[in-house]
Amino acid sequence: MRLLKEKVSFLKTTVVLSALAVMVTAGQASAQMQQGIYEIASAEDDRFVLDAKTCTETEKKQEEVQLYLASDVRQQQFFLRGLDEHSPYFRIVSVSAGTFLTETSDGADSGKPAVSLKEGERISAADGRKERELLSETASGQTGTEAAADPGAGSSETDQTAPGFSRDDKGVWLLQKCGEDAWYIRSSSGLYLTMSGDRAANGVQLSLEPLDRSESQKWILLETDISVSPDLDTDSVNPYLENGLYETLQLTVRFGKNLEKLSAADLAGWMAEQPDHTLALDKEKVTEYVSHLAEKYNTKGKPRRFMTSYGNEITLKMGNFGWELDQQKTVERILTAIRKSGKHTIQPVWKQTGGQMSTNGHDIGDSYIEVDLIAQKVWLYIDGEKRLEADCVTGTLGTDRETPGGVYRIVRKQSPAVLTGPGYVSNVSYWMQFYNGYGLHDATWRSEFGGEIYKTSGSHGCVNLPLEIAEEVYELTDIGFPVVLYH
């Protein structure tokens, strides 16, 4: 059974690290320690211990270690075997797997050093009874090994080399005391066993990092007997459930004043079991979720309502204006955001934006250009204030030059510009394109605007404006500015 840390002050000779006797020599702190069977707990939260990931449903060979809530099982027990009677160097062997902890870069996506379990000499016979006897005898029958002093004390013992020890041996670890009951575990390359992430939780991975003296690098060695409990299926760690790494996650996706919230409980249901019995986030679930958001908030191509300058509301169905979610980039942004704990808010990624966020057909906003194709009038509104009103000439009625109705957006601005088409070349000072070859521009070749000119002598489809009006509109608008045209 695991011996509780809380008993240390009362039963120092029989509880956690019962074989540990603190000595003071030559002004330096050192410690004596017996090899034996231990749980290796995080000093940041000693409820969580090193765990040899295992799958009870298959004969899959264990290859990784992680943190997991202490459960009194063999996969969380490690045999610390000294290389020499008086050496601070140890092999750290999984009681459950018979493999030993080793430094590797294979398990790290970044290529940085990591840790895994490597096949090695088994420390017991296959028979459970013999295993218990062998390990119990080994744990209690050694005279003890002296661990190196705190690396901060400047002791030369930190660089001591045990007999037969090679600096290239990635499966040998140096135990260094750091405080009353905590230890650093240093690899042969001089890096320290480190808990990844900001807190101990189920599924937290381990890495090897330079010494920074943080709690994430400190370990408590809890002496224990061999457990009789079966191993757990800790491959299937759901990080969004209780004691999981992201159990506190609360993600908000902001759509204007609307907030779409995802909790850890929501995400727990998006985890899917893999062929090797591990759990991984099902990206299709995220894609489906974002597709639902797009259906809810996209307005491009959808009918919308508009209040004209005459005070009547109309419905417009055509145009390229509106909100369009970049679903792929939003999926990637969410996938990044949900690998964190705590509360945070993100913005979605848009291919195109509208005037204001709305789900009820009012996305144009209070700033827009309004064109009445029958009355041949143009208005410009900025933040709800009418900045100008003028006459215009649009495309010739009843021909293929007729100006289309709908809600569009300025997609290009140029000053000056040369406009060309079948049978004409026109030089203009201000060009504001809103759809294909259609746009607003000055028409200095015209002396009159408005009235019924468009019925017989209209434009090639553009909205012709007096020079001073075109200049003002050009100066007050930007790319994406709404253009509303109706009959």
| Best CA proximity match to 181, nearest among 368, 364, 12 | 12
| Final residue belonging to a domain, choices 235, 258, 293 | 235
- Residues paired with residue 143 on neighbouring β-strands, in sequence order: none
Tally the domains of the chain: 3
pLDDT of residue 73: 92
| Final residue belonging to a domain, choices 324, 352, 380 | 352
**H-only helix segments in 203-303:** 264-268, 283-297
Please say if the pLDDT value at position 146 is more than 60. no
| Best CA proximity match to 271, nearest among 279, 263, 259 | 279
Q: Supply 177's token pair.
A: 């005391």
Query: CATH number for the domain including 326?
Result: 3.10.20.800
pLDDT of residue 170: 82
Determine, yes or no, domain membership for 241: no
- Verify that 398 and 473 share a domain, yes or no: yes
Could you report the per-residue pLDDT of 420-434, keeping only the tens digit for each?
A: 988 889 999 999 999
- Verify that 55 and 193 share a domain, yes or no: yes
Could you report the per-residue pLDDT of 283-309, keeping only the tens digit for each?
A: 999 999 999 999 999 999 899 999 999
- Verify that 311 and 413 share a domain, yes or no: no
Determine, yes or no, domain membership for 363: no
Q: Is the dihedral of CA 441, 442, 446, 449 positive or negative?
A: positive
Could you report the per-residue pLDDT of 72-113, keeping only the tens digit for each?
A: 999 999 999 888 777 788 999 998 888 889 998 654 444 567
pLDDT of residue 233: 83
pLDDT of residue 99: 85
Please say if the pLDDT value at position 165 is more than 70. no
Q: Supply 196's token pair.
A: 């990844």
User: In whole angstroms, what is the distance from residue 55 CA to residue 235 CA?
Assistant: 6
- Verify that 311 and 372 share a domain, yes or no: no
Query: CATH number for the domain including 475?
Result: 2.40.440.10
| Final residue belonging to a domain, choices 352, 386, 408 | 352
DSSP letter for 129, please.
H
pTM as predicted:
0.71
Determine, yes or no, domain membership for 421: yes
Could you report the per-residue pLDDT of 343-396, keeping only the tens digit for each?
A: 999 999 999 999 998 888 789 999 999 999 999 999 999 999 999 999 999 999
Determine, yes or no, domain membership for 74: yes
Q: 69 vs 273, 385, 390, CA distance in Å?
A: 20, 62, 73
- Verify that 40 and 170 share a domain, yes or no: yes
Residue type, 47: R
- Verify that 439 and 469 share a domain, yes or no: yes
Category of 450 on φ-ψ map: left (φ > 0), alpha (ψ -120 to 50) or beta: left
Please say if the pLDDT value at position 122 is more than 50. no
User: In whole angstroms, what is the distance from residue 29 CA to residue 178 CA?
Assistant: 9
- Residue 7 has φ and ψ, to the nearest 5°, of -85, -5
- Verify that 228 and 283 share a domain, yes or no: no
Residue 274 pLDDT class (50, 70, 90 cuts): confident
**H-only helix segments in 234-390:** 264-268, 283-297, 327-337
Which of 82-91, 172-181, 344-353, 438-447 bottoms out in mean pLDDT, i.e. has the lowest? 82-91
- Verify that 263 and 191 share a domain, yes or no: no
Q: 235 vs 98, 147, 239, CA distance in Å?
A: 18, 33, 11
Please say if the pLDDT value at position 334 is more than 90. yes
Determine, yes or no, domain membership for 245: no
Query: Which residue segment(s) compose the domain that 307 sits in?
Result: 250-352
Which range, 78-82, 113-117, 473-477, is most confident? 473-477
- Verify that 344 and 417 share a domain, yes or no: no
- Verify that 342 and 393 share a domain, yes or no: no
Determine, yes or no, domain membership for 151: yes
pLDDT of residue 33: 67
- Verify that 226 and 262 share a domain, yes or no: no
- Verify that 43 and 167 share a domain, yes or no: yes
DSSP letter for 459, please.
B
pLDDT of residue 422: 87
- Residues paired with residue 175 on neighbouring β-strands, in sequence order: 185
Determine, yes or no, domain membership for 389: yes
